[in-house]
Structure 1
């Protein structure tokens, strides 16, 4: 059963969410909030909101907002267990894995960087749930449950949680033309979107077919796996483990899906080697400066190096000269490839480290590749300030400290001290 639930304009402290999760007992979670399958749309509040004013220092920053959510009770481990007269009391039951849930946000399965943490924090605040906000995973192997059985009967012994999934977008500072023709800097919805997965605190327990439990709860999900009414559920059995047709089918389906996914990955054709793309470059040549300071972006001399902050004296071979190529514009945001005059390469995030926070920016043979495409957020007309975002990873570009030779890297939320804002200066 699914019902629509609007995501409120709520904003909670991530620290408070984590603390609350640690304090919440599984029994309290079950009784206070019976888990039901829920779907939600629209947005949750972030630190900023679309249409709110921003400044040039915000051009290199990024904030998430939640677009959709879905909450589904999920059984992670299960075992059918028969308790006969005289065998009641404490039992240690080894359950079998039904589902494994891993926390992820977009490309990032390790929850590196503040954007992923802020996204999951917003999810928890919007739903009023205590969700995992750092990387974790439910167990993928058999697990034990210790339980005291006071009555004979056929039980489903389980571990479970609420699996929370959905999609997010991001907010960026950019120029916006107002109704009177003037320009202002405001937070706008960016082009990048992604999906997330997380889950609530795990609970464990045991349930019989005749027990009355809340519809849509984790316990009800476990009861459904008992296959009540079947010969297995109604027949007399010795105490201990009893197979369930529904459990066997669920496990078989999960294993089949996992094997199919593994097979697709194993047989997928490798990506073709990069070939030089024919670029349509604008005639203007630019330097990308740190505002008010002499250092600017310089392409590497060596293939295995990255783009670094250098002075123009160091880059006399045009390594600090860039052209915008294959430029498009949508809702006031430019999308372009950055071609370097000095080495003929295009700015890119290396594919092997693209999912990592603070992966460095370098140049490579120009090709049709979203890792070489960048969104450019601009100051109002007359201003040269910009922020840059990689199209594939969604991360903003910036530097950790102002120093000669400092690498330009990607930061999922940008540099919140404003150091991800640059000057695009025509040479």
Structure 2
């Protein structure tokens, strides 16, 4: 199904993330057996589908185009896309670091809906894009080790270091012009830079 877009819209940016310690020195293994800590979170705008086209005088109006896949983002835990769903709680913590919702299940950005219809009112070289804010970083898991009835203390599940994760936010779509700057750190700006290569 084709979608109709106008030349408008802003993207999202996120502040650098800082590591959080476990919530307190002690824990209750019956209530909180696991604590996931997102140590770092790096946000990168990524264009996953894109096409460029030229509109000459006398051909403005609705334009139907088909996007081509540029790349694909896949959620991963410790470099594996086939991670145990119990690790979804770790990805859920990423949203608190970035300030926007991210994918927490086994998923990727692949789509079969690549047809787009746009309304162009001026000649020029345009790009149509679909993309996401990808988040990569390190994480660690603490386990509540029982020390008594209803009491325990936190220990690192992986004392040798941290693990790694990849996830992504909501899709961003639209139309860009090479000559029209977009906000830095957004998918729109990444798409504009892609267009300027053509």
* TM-score normalized by the length of structure 2: 0.80
Partner of 1:143: 114
Q: Does 1:162 align with 2:139?
A: no
Partner of 1:189: 156
Q: Does 1:40 align with 2:26?
A: no
Q: Does 1:105 align with 2:116?
A: no
**3-state SS of 1:49 partner:** coil
Partner of 2:61: 89
Pick 1 or 2: higher relative contact order, CA cutoff 8 A, min separation 6.
2
Q: Are the aligned partners of 1:50 and 1:188 in contact in 2 as well (CA < 8 Å)? A: no
Aligned residue-pair number: 187
Distance across 2 between alignment mates of 1:40 and 1:126: 5
Q: Identify if the C-alpha distance between structure 1 residues 175 and 134 changes in structure 2 by more than 3 Å, giving closer, same or farther.
A: closer
Unpaired segments of 5 or more residues in structure 2? none
User: 1:82 Cα deviation (Å)?
Assistant: 0.4
RMSD: 3.0
Q: Are the aligned partners of 2:72 and 2:109 in contact in 1 as well (CA < 8 Å)? A: yes
- Give 1 or 2: higher strand fraction: 2
**3-state SS of 1:68 partner:** coil
- Which has the higher Rg, Structure 1 or Structure 2? 1
- Give 1 or 2: higher helix fraction: 1
Distance across 2 between alignment mates of 1:145 and 1:153: 18
Question: Aligned runs of 1:269-418 on 2, under 5 Å?
Answer: none
Partner of 1:49: 23
Q: Are the aligned partners of 1:101 and 1:137 in contact in 2 as well (CA < 8 Å)? A: yes
* TM-score normalized by the length of structure 1: 0.39
Distance across 2 between alignment mates of 1:145 and 1:227: 20
**3-state SS of 1:42 partner:** coil
**3-state SS of 1:201 partner:** coil
